Amino acid sequence: MSHTAHIRSHRKPRRSASTLAVRAGVAGGVLGTLAVAGASGSANAAEPVTQTLELPTLTADLAALTAQSADATEQAAAHYQLQAERDAAAAKAAKQAKADLVEAKKKAAEARKKAQEEARIQAAARAARSAERTTLSTTSDGGSTSTSTGTSTDTSTSTGTSTATGSAAAVVSFVKAQIGKAYISGATGSSAYDCSGLVQTAFKQVGVSLPRVSQDQSTAGTQVSLSNLQPGDVLYWGSAGSAYHVAVYVGDGMFVGAQNPSTGVVERPLSYDPPTGAVRVL
């Protein structure tokens, strides 16, 4: 045995042709695959891929929110303005209603006062007519006396002198000058009077100061009989101290007085509204 027989030969064994062919085929396939991949990669490199990314649309959302907020603010402002206008209108209406109420109360008070005055005047007229009927009845029963010859004398119609002199003439002249002027309760001239206002103002012309109201004027002088009247005497209706109406006797069976709102200052005969009594101041 050769001394080298146990040593493996360093020579590579020969490969068969078929094995080489298979390996060559595999290598060719790999190279072909690489070539195709390279070509594909070149194509992809030549045509870059465009990819769209969907980012959050924050700007659009913020714009929408801003618009909504502006609309809400505008609506709120319009609401507040409308409410303010309504409040102003309500306040104005309340103020007007209050003014109307005050005016209505004022007119109602004036109407009541006028109605009371007219009622007073009508009551006075009724009382005067009743007194006149009583006077006439008394006169017809005992106002005349018979004599043995059958003649009679009437003593109930005498009114004393009818000619005014001195201060009495001035009072008569003044009251006659006021005829036709208005009657207003509480008035003392110069365009309107009530009954006691006319009497007081008339006597003031001659320096005589009389009380303001009818009740006091009916006791301001000397009580005189209605059958002995003189021009300038103060006539009163009702009882002395509680009279409800006064006037001035001007002579010839006539008197001048501020009668009522309907007639104003007028001249009337005593028979129109016979007085209850009279006082002489001058």
For residue 59, the one-letter residue type is T
Q: Is the pTM of this model over 0.95?
A: no
Residue 162 has pLDDT above 90, yes or no: no
Name which residue leads in pLDDT, 234 or 149: 234
Residue 263 DSSP label: T
CB atoms inside a 10 Å sphere around CB 125: 16
* Predicted confidence (pLDDT) per residue in 20-79, tens digit: 554 555 555 545 555 555 555 544 444 555 555 555 556 667 777 777 888 888 888 888
What is the total residue count of the chain? 282
Burial of 109 (0-12, 13-18, 19+ CB in 10 A): exposed
3-state secondary structure 48-87: CCCCCCCCCCHHHHHHHHHHHHHHHHHHHHHHHHHHHHHH
In the chain, the domains with their CATH numbers are 159-280 (3.90.1720.10)
pLDDT at 153: 32
> Dmax over Cα atoms in the chain, in whole Å?
230
Residue 128 has pLDDT above 80, yes or no: no
Contact 276, 234 (CB under 8 A): no
